[in-house]
């Protein structure tokens, strides 16, 4: 009985909150476009403010804006009247979020913003409130009732506020032509950031760490170089340090199958040409190439095919790309 009651309650809340958001779709009109225009033309920062649950929503919206190309941060409404208003400049735009639009903290803050001619965008569930009437632009977050059976706990209303904030952030993202790479620059520690920012130059071994030998050496000499550098590959170069081939763990297995002597010339068993990438190649693209070619290590060359580095799957793993 308890289990079924919980399941039914959970479904009801999702259905009611989804319905509340859908009811807001018709309110996305010229007022919404005006708000976007104010934010796009903002020469300072976008300041989000609110208290209680709306304050938590404002914090999240500020974070979403900041990560999608709009400089934004949160100022707690109650603290604004006690000094934090100094954090808001005349070139900024303020977005105030409040379900009732009548919070005492906002009523103190609004006249100060008006006096300094700072644009104010309201996201509120009460279009007749002090906040709504004082704002340059008011966006509705009105809901018929809360998903709470007592119609008390902020549920549908806070979800509506969040949805409007997200709608603003994504509209601005599209208007700015914000790209995956732009997003990655704000998220260098995330998987997407690593995928779009880490290049082969960032992970490759260089200098004395590069496993490399001339094309006129013996198999034994190449094996000693491969063992010493522990990358599972050796770059074979000519007298100009130009890549002419590679010798890998796979080539070694084929050497053993042919029962050749380690004193034979490396040129008889190495892979001529070999696959290489440039230092500025994205490490994620190099990984895809390695997987397609079923190889576990890669040589890095410059535009003249001179060897400048090498890396293997372990280096990609350390970089968080695997």
User: Parallel, antiparallel, or unpaired: how do β-strands 271-272 and 243-248 relate?
Assistant: antiparallel
Q: In 3D, which of 45, 77, 71, 43 has the Cα closest to residue 58?
A: 77
- pLDDT averaged over every residue in the chain: 90
Q: pLDDT band at 186, cuts 50/70/90?
A: low
Determine the pLDDT at residue 79.
Answer: 81
Mean pLDDT of 157-174: 96
Contact present, 119 and 93 (Cβ < 8 Å): yes
**Which residues, in sequence order, are CB contacts of 264 under 8 Å at separation 6+?**
218, 219
- C-alpha 194/C-alpha 67 separation (Å) is 16
Contact present, 23 and 144 (Cβ < 8 Å): yes
Q: What is the pTM of this model?
A: 0.67
**Which residues, in sequence order, are CB contacts of 94 under 8 Å at separation 6+?**
46, 47, 48, 49, 88, 113, 118, 119, 120, 121
Mean pLDDT of 38-49: 96
Q: In 3D, which of 281, 260, 279 has the Cα closest to residue 269?
A: 260
Determine the pLDDT at residue 252.
Answer: 83
Among 67-81, 143-157, 242-256, 259-273, top mean pLDDT goes to 143-157
Pull the structure tokens for residue 43.
């020469």
Q: pLDDT band at 181, cuts 50/70/90?
A: low
Distances (CA, A) of 211 to 205, 207, 295, 300: 9, 9, 16, 11
Mean pLDDT of 131-150: 95
Q: pLDDT band at 191, cuts 50/70/90?
A: low
Pull the structure tokens for residue 274.
């070999």
pLDDT at 94 over 60: yes
Determine the pLDDT at residue 81.
Answer: 64
User: Parallel, antiparallel, or unpaired: how do β-strands 120-124 and 212-214 relate?
Assistant: unpaired
- C-alpha 75/C-alpha 197 separation (Å) is 32
pLDDT at 190 over 90: no
Written in H, E and C, the secondary structure of the chain is CHHHHHHHHHHHHHHHHHHHHHCCHHHCCHHHHHHHHHHHCCCCCEEEEECHHHHHHHHHHHHHHHHCCCCEEEEEHHHHCCCHHHHCCCCCEEEEEECCCCCHHHHHHHHHHHHCCCCEEEEECCCCCHHHHHCCEEEECCCCCCCCCCCCCCCHHHHHHHHHHHHHHHHHHHHHCCCHHHHHHHCCCCHHHHHHHCEHHHHCECHHHCCEEECCCEHHHHHHHHHHHCCCEEEEECCCCEEEEEEEHHHHHHHHHCCCCCCCEHHHCCEECCCEECCCCEHHHHHHHHHHHCCCEEEEECCCCEEEEEEEHHHHHHCCCC
pLDDT at 117 over 70: yes
Determine the pLDDT at residue 158.
Answer: 97
- C-alpha 205/C-alpha 216 separation (Å) is 24
Mean pLDDT of 100-115: 91
- Per-residue pLDDT reduced to its tens digit, 61-73: 999 998 888 899 9
Distances (CA, A) of 53 to 124, 141, 225, 239: 13, 14, 63, 70
Determine the pLDDT at residue 234.
Answer: 94
Contact present, 238 and 215 (Cβ < 8 Å): yes
Provide the CB-side half-sphere exposure for 295 (13 A, CA): 24
pLDDT at 266 over 90: no
pLDDT at 183 over 70: no
Determine the pLDDT at residue 67.
Answer: 84
Mean pLDDT of 209-233: 92
């Amino acid at each position: 009985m308890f289990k079924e009651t919980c399941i039914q309650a959970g479904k009801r809340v999702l259905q009611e909150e989804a319905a509340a958001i859908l009811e807001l779709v018709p309110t996305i009109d010229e007022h919404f476009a005006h708000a976007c225009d104010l934010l796009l033309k903002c020469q300072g920062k976008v300041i989000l403010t609110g208290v209680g649950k709306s304050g938590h929503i404002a914090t999240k919206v500020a974070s979403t804006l900041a990560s999608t190309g709009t400089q934004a941060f949160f100022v707690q409404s109650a603290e604004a009247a006690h000094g934090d208003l100094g954090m808001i400049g005349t070139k900024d735009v303020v977005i105030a979020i409040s379900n009732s639009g009548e919070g005492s903290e906002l009523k103190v803050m609004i006249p100060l913003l008006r006096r300094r001619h700072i644009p104010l965008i309201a996201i509120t569930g009460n279009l007749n409130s002090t906040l709504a009437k004082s704002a340059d632009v008011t966006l509705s977050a009105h809901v018929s009732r809360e998903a709470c059976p007592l119609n008390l706990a902020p549920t549908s209303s806070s979800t509506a506020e969040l949805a409007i904030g997200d709608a603003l952030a994504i509209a601005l993202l599209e208007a700015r032509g914000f790209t995956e790479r732009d997003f990655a620059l704000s998220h260098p520690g995330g998987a997407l950031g690593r995928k779009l920012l880490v290049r082969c130059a960032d992970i490759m071994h260089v200098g004395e760490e590069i496993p490399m030998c001339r094309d006129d050496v013996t198999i034994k000499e190449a094996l000693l170089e491969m063992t010493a550098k522990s990358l599972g590959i050796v770059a074979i170069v000519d007298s100009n340090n130009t890549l002419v081939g590679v010798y890998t763990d796979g080539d070694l297995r084929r050497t053993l199958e042919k029962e050749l002597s380690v004193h034979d010339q490396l040129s008889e068993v190495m892979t001529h040409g070999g696959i290489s990438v440039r230092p500025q190649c994205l490490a994620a693209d190099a990984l895809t190439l390695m997987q397609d070619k079923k190889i576990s290590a890669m040589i890095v060359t410059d535009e003249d095919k001179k060897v400048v580095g090498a890396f293997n799957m372990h280096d990609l793993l350390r970089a968080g790309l695997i």
